[in-house]
């Protein structure tokens, strides 16, 4: 599943082609993805100018005066900005047509999703969609730090990795980056969240920020279906320290990396470096 850096990479890739442009039409080749596509997408979005492209957690919002189109890439979703006559593939479910500008011909924002676990929904002006209402802070903002993690973890017996992946605590720290941040911070992912000290949470928060920022700059982590909007793969996957390296020597101490399943997700850690 695309994680926060991949979604942010997508936002940065499509935003320059969308902001300030008017939507001239919407083509739905099916009426549902993970959920039914609401009628506002075809009734209210055409004719509107896209004023901003925002990311909230792993959601993308195309803001207009009439409301916002809310997109999630799911497991296999991809957004691309293409010529209107670009060949339509089997899994190309939505085209949002964009007017021409002084410097660019007409374009379409095409949503491709083979497994259809993504979504295209609508958020009215001044409202917060129910999918966004209970989300925690963004990890790359000042609202997220070690003190927040320490305070919210008191009394919790769940594994610290699952705690870190809880979107009510902090958004967008998915499986790959949680494993990498815990490795960098030297924390055993199986450790109860309530047993981690304030000082260690300070380091963990700092590593989350560092790793996510670095991954965004490197273009996200390419796994299976996800590629950047310009068609080039991300490169951060070549630099993973723990994730996906079961049995391989730890890059810090040489101890074989171990794997365990936590919350139905594969977790990788070094038994010597992470305590």
d(C-alpha 74, C-alpha 88), whole Å: 20
Among residues 2, 5, 189, 229, the one annotated as catalytic is 2
Are the C-beta atoms of residues 204 and 185 closer than 8 Å to each other? yes
Among residues 12, 218, 258, 265, the one annotated as catalytic is 265
Are the C-beta atoms of residues 248 and 256 closer than 8 Å to each other? yes
115 marked ligand binding residue: yes
156 marked ligand binding residue: yes
| Residue 245 known to be catalytic | no
Phi, psi of 162 (to 5 degrees): -65, -40
Q: DSSP alpha helices (H): ranges in 154-251?
A: 160-164, 175-185, 198-217
| Residue 58 known to be catalytic | yes
Task: Tell me what percent of the chain is helix, strand and coil, each rounded to the nearest 5.
Answer: 25, 25, 50
| Residue 124 known to be catalytic | no
| Residue 180 known to be catalytic | no
Are the C-beta atoms of residues 66 and 149 closer than 8 Å to each other? no
Q: Residue 8 belongs to what H/E stretch?
A: helix 4-18
Q: Residue 62 belongs to what H/E stretch?
A: strand 59-64
DSSP state of 194: G
First-residue to last-residue Cα distance in the chain: 28
Among residues 21, 58, 107, 200, the one annotated as catalytic is 58
Binding residues for DNA: 91, 115, 156
**Active site (catalytic) residues:** 2-3, 58, 265
Binding residues: 91, 115, 156
């Amino acid at each position: 599943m695309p994680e926060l850096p991949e979604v942010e990479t997508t936002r940065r890739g499509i935003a320059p082609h969308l902001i300030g442009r008017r939507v001239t039409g919407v083509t739905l080749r099916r009426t549902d993805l993970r959920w039914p596509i609401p009628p506002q997408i075809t009734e209210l979005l055409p004719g509107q100018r896209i004023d901003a492209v925002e990311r909230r957690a792993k959601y993308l919002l195309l803001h207009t005066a009439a409301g916002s189109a809310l997109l999630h890439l799911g497991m296999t979703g991809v957004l691309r900005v293409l010529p209107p006559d670009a060949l339509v593939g089997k899994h190309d479910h939505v085209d949002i047509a964009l007017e021409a500008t002084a410097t660019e011909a007409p374009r379409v924002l095409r949503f491709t999703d083979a497994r259809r676990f993504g979504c295209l929904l609508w958020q009215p002006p001044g409202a917060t969609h129910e999918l966004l209402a209970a989300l925690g802070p963004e990890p790359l903002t000042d609202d997220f730090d070690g003190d927040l993690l320490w305070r919210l973890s008191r009394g919790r017996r769940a594994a610290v990795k699952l705690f870190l992946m809880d979107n009510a605590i902090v958004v967008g720290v998915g499986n790959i980056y949680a494993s990498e941040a815990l490795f960098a911070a030297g924390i055993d992912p199986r450790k109860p969240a309530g047993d981690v000290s304030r000082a260690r949470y300070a380091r963990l928060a700092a590593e989350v920020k560092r790793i996510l920022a670095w991954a965004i700059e490197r273009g996200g982590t390419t796994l299976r279906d996800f590629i950047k909007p310009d068609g080039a793969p991300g490169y951060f996957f070549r630099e993973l320290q723990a994730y996906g390296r079961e049995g391989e020597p730890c890059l810090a101490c040489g101890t074989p990396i171990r794997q365990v399943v936590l919350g139905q997700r594969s977790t990788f850690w070094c038994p010597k470096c992470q305590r």
